[in-house]
């Protein structure tokens, strides 16, 4: 069991279902404030997607990320900023085998384009993130003909770019083979110590939230690795306890779950507070951003 626990809050995600919640933020100002409130509630890391302020749909625009990070940093609240770099991997296909274009929902772009906002913010020299995600492989997304694609070459490219930019990669593992690729890159010296892994469980047709499966994956990780796992929907809070028991950190937030209880919407801050209660009732300590920075070997921005 882990004694010092990092709580990550995934603030909005890119799924349109999140907009069902009255707490779903769409403008950069509201996303930033939701992240700040989550940090005050105990989150040491905030995981950020941005949305178009007018439509509420997910966005890849650097300007929105820049504004969110600026507001968070200018607030004086100490929290590590983790920017998604996973947007741009969805492919929709027709039953007759055609790959549908943007009009059909496909948004597939290069790995560099998925990380364009991270590259821009680092090169500008202001408001660079502490962490960015690297999605480690393909998986089907629910029913129908939608899939997410991240090839081994894309994963390696994202890993190299993160190192060059001086941003810590968080490897998003959605299935068992994804972790095998992470281990291969680790053996090749592509990943700096400590390895940071997010085990993404209970997404339909990807990796189930099975404690035996998760325990077997955790057993393969290096002792110095810093890992977390999460569940979606009603499995979010049970996974908090399970992850801590397996020796990991935790992630909660509206990206993965909208509710405090059946039919009762919760804010990001309330979800963090609930997770904090679970962690502390287990006898573990929720760490500050400063301590998380030490554990992950990050420099202050």
Rounded CA gap, 200 and 251, in Å? Answer: 10
Taking the CA atoms of the chain, what radius of gyration do you get in angstroms? 18
Of 56, 60, 86, 83, nearest to 70 by C-alpha is: 83
| pLDDT tens for the chain, residues 1 to 301 | 999 999 999 999 999 999 999 999 999 999 999 999 999 999 999 999 999 999 999 999 999 999 999 999 999 999 999 999 999 999 999 999 999 999 999 999 999 999 999 999 999 999 999 999 999 999 998 899 999 999 999 999 999 999 999 999 999 999 999 999 999 999 999 999 999 999 999 988 899 999 999 999 999 999 999 999 999 999 999 999 999 999 999 999 999 999 999 999 999 999 999 999 999 999 999 999 999 999 999 988 7
Which residues, in sequence order, are CB contacts of 168 under 8 Å at separation 6+? 130, 131, 132, 162, 196, 296, 298
CA atoms within 13 A on the CB side of 162: 29
Could you give the C-alpha distances from 139 to 128, 148, 204, in angstroms and in order? Answer: 29, 5, 9
Task: Supply angle C-alpha 17, 109, 139, rounded to 5.
Answer: 55
Rounded CA gap, 171 and 164, in Å? Answer: 16
pTM for the model stands at: 0.97
Rounded CA gap, 292 and 300, in Å? Answer: 11
Give phi and psi for 168, each to the nearest 5.
-70, 125
The domains located in the chain, with CATH, are: 4-88+107-138+148-296 (3.20.20.70)
């Amino acid at each position: 069991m882990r004694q010092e626990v990092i709580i990550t809050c995934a603030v909005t995600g890119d799924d349109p279902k999140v907009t069902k919640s009255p707490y779903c933020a769409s403008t950069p100002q509201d996303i930033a404030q939701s992240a700040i409130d989550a940090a005050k509630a105990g989150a040491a890391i905030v995981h950020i997607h941005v949305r178009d302020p007018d439509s509420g749909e997910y966005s890849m625009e650097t300007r929105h990320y820049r504004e969110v990070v600026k507001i968070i940093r200018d607030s004086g609240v100490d929290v590590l900023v983790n920017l998604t770099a996973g947007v741009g991997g969805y492919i929709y296909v027709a039953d007759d085998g055609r790959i549908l274009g943007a009009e059909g929902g496909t948004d597939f772009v290069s790995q560099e384009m998925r990380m364009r906002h991270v590259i821009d913010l680092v090169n500008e020299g202001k408001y660079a993130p502490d962490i960015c995600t690297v999605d480690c492989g393909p998986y089907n997304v629910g029913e129908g003909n939608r899939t997410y694609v991240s090839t081994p070459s894309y994963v390696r490219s994202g890993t190299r770019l993160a190192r060059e930019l001086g941003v810590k990669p968080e490897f998003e593992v959605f299935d068992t083979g994804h972790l095998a690729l992470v281990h291969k890159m680790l053996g090749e010296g592509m990943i700096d110590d400590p390895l940071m892994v997010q085990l993404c469980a209970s997404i339909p047709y990807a990796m189930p939230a099975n404690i035996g499966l998760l325990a077997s994956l955790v057993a393969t990780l290096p002792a110095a690795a810093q890992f977390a796992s999460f569940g979606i929907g009603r499995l979010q809070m049970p996974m908090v306890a399970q992850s801590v028991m397996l020796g990991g950190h935790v992630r909660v937030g509206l990206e993965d779950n909208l509710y405090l209880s059946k039919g009762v919407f919760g804010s990001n801050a309330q979800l963090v507070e609930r997770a904090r209660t679970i962690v502390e009732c287990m006898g573990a300590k929720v760490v500050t951003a400063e301590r998380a920075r030490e554990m992950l070997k990050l420099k202050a921005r």
